[in-house]
Structure 1
Amino acid sequence: MLARWSRRLLPPSLNTRPTEWSRAAIGVGLGTLISVWACAQLFGLPVALHLIGPLGASAVLLFAVSSGALAQPWSIIGSYLCATLISMLVVHWLGRSLGSAGLAVALAVLGMCLLRCLHPPAGALALLMVIADPDTVALGWQVLEPVMLAAACLLAVAIGYNNLTRVRYPKVHVEPPKTFISTPQPGEPPGITREDLEQALAQMEEFIDVTPEDLEQLITACETQAKRRSIGEVFASRP
């Protein structure tokens, strides 16, 4: 019983090749270094280093899981803008304290959900904007400039590096097709449509970092693999 329970704590294996791990790791390092360096050139190293935590976390999303909904351009740009503005408003009215930091990150999450730009590292950014170092505090509302500069630099590196290494980014939104994803045979029930996938995701009522396009591609790939396996079994059964 204990052994079975402990196995549940182990994460599943990654469905990626080691070459993809290396590609993503190099991108994360380059993206973080370039964005922090660019910020340091204009606003000083202390301010840039104050932002390095959220930028490093964002880099993991943009380079390692770039297909996810949380890693798209509007997610990082919109979330960084939203988190910074909300945090500065909280500081303006309530000052800088631990309670203010908690309120800022809570309001930032609500704002990101409303603006459809949920991005976890922006939660850390909201905290850092309230509990800031003296150099960052001295900037006042102008702190928005280094934040957005760093976000834009990281995004630019992600777009360039991902596409140069044959990873399409950002993900292009495709209009839902009118045909069935799964083509039914005569006498069988209708197959799965894009609308079915969207409704199924909506019924989950929780944050799931996957899009209907991702599910459609997965279902299509599964059907193709099943057809190949079926054909292989037919040939194997022949004398």
Structure 2
Amino acid sequence: MQTRWISRLLPAATNTRPTEWSRAAIGVSLGTLFSVWFCSLFYGLPVAMHLIGPLGASAILLFAVSSGALAQPWSIVGGYLCATVVSLGVVHFLGRSLDSACLAVGLAMISMCLLRCLHPPAGALALLVVLADPDSASLGWGMLAPVMLGAVCMLLAALAYNNLTRVRYPKKPSEPSPAASTDQAPINPGISAEDLHHALQQMDAFIDVTPEDLEELIRASELHARRRSIGEVFSQNG
């Protein structure tokens, strides 16, 4: 029992190749550099550098796990917007302190969940907006402009780089698989995206995957299983 619990702490095996690591790493570096540099042109380097932490974290999501639900365009744009507005509101009423910063990140998370734009780096952004450096704090509600500019720049960089390197972004709903057709009489009942959506709701936890991704994975697994079973039949007859 103890061994099984310890094994849960060990890193899981990855399904990506080193070439994909390199592709994503280059994108993360270029996307962060572009976002911070462009933001510094309008609001100065100190303000842009103050945002580099959340932007770098967003870059990893948008370039390394771009198919995840937390990395989609509305997640970063809506998440940054929620975090900034909530944090500036907290500052307006409670001032800048550690307590207000912690309150801001909690309220920002609730607002992101309500608007379906959960984006983890926005949590760090909420803390930074409250505990801002003098240059950023002097902007007041104007802090919303450089934050959103950085988010849009990162999104544009991800759209350009991912698609140029043959990674489809943003994630599009998968088309119905032929395996789901009732005419083909599949062995197992067809599982639709709606079924998976309800299943994810019953999990009662944050899972960074879309029903479409799960459906596509199940269809591919069914196809491989059928090919394997056919191959075993031929090998036995041979």
TM-score of the alignment, normalized to the shorter chain, above 0.5: yes
Per the TM alignment, residue 182 of structure 1 is displaced from its structure 2 partner at its CA by 7.4
Per the TM alignment, residue 151 of structure 1 is displaced from its structure 2 partner at its CA by 0.5
1:9 is aligned to 2:15: no
CA contact (8 A) 1:182 1:220 kept: no
Any idea what the Cα deviations from partners look like across 1:126-145, whole Å, max 9, x if unmatched? 00000010000111111111
1:89 is aligned to 2:97: no
1:186 to 1:94, Cα distance in 2 relative to 1, 3 A: closer
Counterparts of 1:21-170 in structure 2, within 5 Å, are 21-170=21-170
CA contact (8 A) 1:77 1:152 kept: yes
Structure 2 equivalent of residue 212 of structure 1: 211
CA contact (8 A) 2:174 2:216 kept: no
CA contact (8 A) 2:177 2:219 kept: no
CA distance in 2 between counterparts of 1:28 and 1:96 reads 31
CA contact (8 A) 2:174 2:213 kept: no
Unaligned 5+ runs, structure 1: none
1:153 to 1:26, Cα distance in 2 relative to 1, 3 A: same
Which letter maps to 1:91?
V
1:221 is aligned to 2:216: no
Count of residue correspondences: 238
Any idea what the Cα deviations from partners look like across 1:161-204, whole Å, max 9, x if unmatched? 000000000012358x5998375987977432332211111111
Give TM-score scaled by structure 1 length: 0.93
Which letter maps to 2:214?
L
CA contact (8 A) 2:179 2:186 kept: no
CA distance in 2 between counterparts of 1:185 and 1:170 reads 31
Which letter maps to 2:195?
D
Using the TM superposition, name which of 37-46 and 185-194 deviates more. 185-194
CA distance in 1 between counterparts of 2:24 and 2:86 reads 31
SS in 1 for 2:173: coil
SS in 2 for 1:159: helix
CA RMSD of aligned residues (A): 2.1
Unaligned 5+ runs, structure 2: none
